[in-house]
Amino acid sequence: MNTILDSFIKNERQQRLIERAANIAKEARLHVADSDREAVFPNETLKVIKQEGYPSFTLPAKYGGEDLSLYEFLLLQETIAVGDGSTALSMGWHLGIVMELSEDKPWKHKTFERLASEIASEQKVVNRLATEAGTGSPTRGGIPETKAVKREGLYVLTGRKTFASMADHLDYYIVSAYVEDLDKVGWFLIDRHQPGLTIDKTWDTLGMRGTESDDLILDEVEVNEQDLVEIKGQSKPSPKGWLLHIPACYLGIAVAARDAAIEFATSFQPNSLDTTISEVGHIRDKIGEMEWKLMQAHSFMYATARKWDEEPEKRMKMGAELAAVKLAVTNTANEVVDLAMRIAGGRGLSKQQPFEKLYRDVRAGLHNPPMDDAVVRMLAGRALDS
């Protein structure tokens, strides 16, 4: 068990849930070399994820879930990320979406109930697919190039979605599209077996390769009118606490780097020293710096999660805080992994050591939403306009 997280476990329920997440992390760790080399999400890891019932954890208890709080969600996500960041990030999208649908209720009750039943009974996995090469991140406000055209009582969708994490392993896709007859952006729930859907194996990135975030191609995909489950702008925009799964993931990667650095420092003894390098002053300084950075990041993230859980009446005003957590924690995570690399020195560049993969993976956090520039301007606006 990770000693850094021990102090954040508050009760037996959380301990029980963390043990199940730790089983996933243990399995994921076995496959990191292969998943990183091949840019695939391991089927073996997904099997354990489903055996542990993890896809249903954020469902309400009445649907067969664990009814996770945000605080608990982040604990589990960070635990898994210590084993493998790609596994944590990939599943974080699914669990976060389920949490959002459960709490905000943007769908018709019967539609959500049907999906919830399949997640609980069959551990099905879903993801929202919004990003496109031509429009960039949906957080920047671009209109999807994917189009939904009304034809004989059906919607016909054509387009391409990028950054589709676990694309080839999902059971459902929630796809954004410009709905021509409504002149609005909508979201469609599409079964993966629907004709016209294919996966283009495009994922070849520096880091987080194990998310297998290939492109989803929609070629004249026909869906029913009721599969249009959401219309953008129909509900009041609200802060999304579940997106803290992003910093939780990268914080877990940083903790893994910290643990590896300590193990390396306490075991490596060059013939120029009478002790391991853990006794060298500048090495101890770097370890101490990692510790206080991680203490700050954990305190900020989990305090914000507790506020979200315990003071729901304040959630509508927490957008800037949530964004600041993402900025602070992902940047701190990068700093911690960099320090770990400096402790390992040249050996840290070797694929025989874990450091170079952790270094590549943690960089991806800087490119997950919200972007640093948008957060900084949001915070400046709040300060200047108050």
Query: Are residue 60 and residue 113 in the same domain, yes or no?
Result: yes
Query: Are residue 119 and residue 177 in the same domain, yes or no?
Result: no
**Residue 137: what pLDDT?**
67
pLDDT along the chain (386 residues), means of 10: 79 97 98 98 98 98 98 98 98 98 96 98 98 77 91 96 98 98 97 98 98 98 97 86 98 98 97 97 98 98 98 97 98 98 97 97 97 96 88
Q: Which amino acid is at 61?
A: A
Q: Alpha-carbon distance 295 to 140, whole Å?
A: 32
pTM: 0.96
Query: Are residue 147 and residue 77 in the same domain, yes or no?
Result: no
Q: Alpha-carbon distance 339 to 362, whole Å?
A: 13
DSSP tag of 136: B
Query: Are residue 370 and residue 280 in the same domain, yes or no?
Result: yes
Query: Are residue 213 and residue 246 in the same domain, yes or no?
Result: no
Q: Alpha-carbon distance 153 to 14, whole Å?
A: 48
Q: Alpha-carbon distance 266 to 160, whole Å?
A: 49
**Which three-class secondary structure state does DSSP give residue 232?**
coil
The beta-carbon contacts of 112-117 under 8 Å, at least 24 apart in sequence, are 113/63, 115/172, 115/189, 116/59, 116/60, 116/63, 116/64, 116/65, 117/63
**Which three-class secondary structure state does DSSP give residue 200?**
strand
Q: Which amino acid is at 121?
A: S
Query: Are residue 79 and residue 173 in the same domain, yes or no?
Result: no
Query: Are residue 137 and residue 209 in the same domain, yes or no?
Result: yes
Rg (CA), the chain: 21
**Residue 108: what pLDDT?**
96
Whether 25 is covered by a domain: the verdict is yes
Q: Alpha-carbon distance 257 to 263, whole Å?
A: 10
Q: What is the CATH number of the domain that holds 356?
A: 1.20.140.10
Q: What is the CATH number of the domain that holds 118?
A: 1.10.540.10
Structural tokens at position 40: 């695939």
| Residues whose CB falls within 8 Å of the CB of residue 29, separated by 6 or more in sequence, listed in order | 83, 84
- Angle, helices 85-104 vs 109-122, to 10°: value is 140
Locus of tokens 């990135």: 205
Domain boundary among 69, 100, 124: 124
- Angle, helices 319-344 vs 355-363, to 10°: value is 150
**Which three-class secondary structure state does DSSP give residue 147?**
strand
On whether the CB atoms of residues 228 and 179 are closer than 8 A, the answer is yes
Domain boundary among 199, 231, 263: 231
Query: Are residue 37 and residue 168 in the same domain, yes or no?
Result: no
Q: Alpha-carbon distance 245 to 74, whole Å?
A: 6
**Residue 203: what pLDDT?**
98
On whether the CB atoms of residues 277 and 269 are closer than 8 A, the answer is yes
Whether 257 is covered by a domain: the verdict is yes
- Name which of 272, 282, 253 is nearest 345 in CA terms: 282
Q: What is the CATH number of the domain that holds 206?
A: 2.40.110.10
**Residue 139: what pLDDT?**
63
- Name which of 175, 138, 166 is nearest 55 in CA terms: 166
**Residue 140: what pLDDT?**
62
Whether 236 is covered by a domain: the verdict is no
Domain boundary among 66, 98, 124: 124
On whether the CB atoms of residues 244 and 202 are closer than 8 A, the answer is no
The DSSP bridge partners found for residue 127 are: 173
Domain count, the chain: 3
**Residue 12: what pLDDT?**
97
Structural tokens at position 304: 């914000």
**Residue 1: what pLDDT?**
40
**Residue 235: what pLDDT?**
76
Whether 99 is covered by a domain: the verdict is yes
Domain that includes residue 39, residue range: 3-124
Q: Which helix (DSSP H) or strand (DSSP E) does residue 11 occupy?
A: none
**Which three-class secondary structure state does DSSP give residue 197?**
strand
CB atoms within 10 A of CB 134: 12
Q: Alpha-carbon distance 51 to 32, whole Å?
A: 20
